[in-house]
Amino acid sequence: MLRLGYRALRISQPHLPYGGVHGSHLGKTLALVRGLSSHSTCEIKYPDGKELLTKTASSSNENHVTLEELIDKKNLRKLFLATYQLEIDWLLSKLPRSIPICLARNWDRLSGEQPGISSLHSNFTVVHPPLSENQYGSMHAKLFILYYDEFIRVVVTSANMTSLDWETFENAIFVQDFSRAHSEAVRPCAFGRDLYHFLGALRIPNFIRNTLTGYDFSTAKVTLIPSVPGAHLQNQEEVYGHKKIAQALMKHGLMSNCSDNKMTLEYQVGF
């Protein structure tokens, strides 16, 4: 699920090519990740996945949730976040201090911004994913991965990281928790592979992508349909956008009994 516009985020460090990582920043981040406290009372809340809506002032349904409730600030250990529109001060007010954060965000070539990796400070990595060469490409994904001591929480949403989208507008959310893989015998599954390859398409540093291999995604209840800027070849291994939708429909047998012009497809853009 995905959406639009962003507040400018000022980066004090120069952007580095995707192949190069600034050791003095990312190295410190990794050290922080390894040194985090293991004392936690946080438990898995969404083992089977759940569809929710952002909670506004008029919300009264139990299927509405606030960003604070999803984040569980006191137990959060680290965070990966992808967003199109961003209110950085508002976001940081929702997070614990000093946790490692990796942010992938849309960027503006016309404003002089560059693709690559930079740092706001020692434990805050910012990634500007590659965009199409023409002016129409954008990084529109809205996804976050929340890391706790014994599990991760994957959230796909139509809400940008802004107060307007989380507190005024009603946006869609899918959330599911995945426990640590306590056995090397856990087999890779489509959800985990799709998530891993999507982070790769955004040029997220490998030390962040590789954390996903420590979790069991076999309980995933949905198929991810990533949207990645650019042109994608017919024969390439990874499939995105409308081609991925068609692949998912065929996989689940949802096209076998449909005659021409009879199918109705409902969707929410957010990932």
Q: Which residue numbers belong to the known binding site for substrate?
A: 142
CB 167 within 8 A of CB 243: no
Strand 78-83 to 64-65 pairing: unpaired
CA-atom Rg of the chain in angstroms:
19
* Region of 234 on the Ramachandran plot (φ > 0 left; ψ -120 to 50 alpha; else beta): alpha
Residue positions forming the annotated binding site: 142
Strand 50-54 to 64-65 pairing: parallel
* Region of 263 on the Ramachandran plot (φ > 0 left; ψ -120 to 50 alpha; else beta): beta
State the burial class of residue 23 (Cβ atoms within 10 Å of its Cβ: 0-12, 13-18, 19+).
exposed
DSSP 52: E
The catalytic residues are: 140
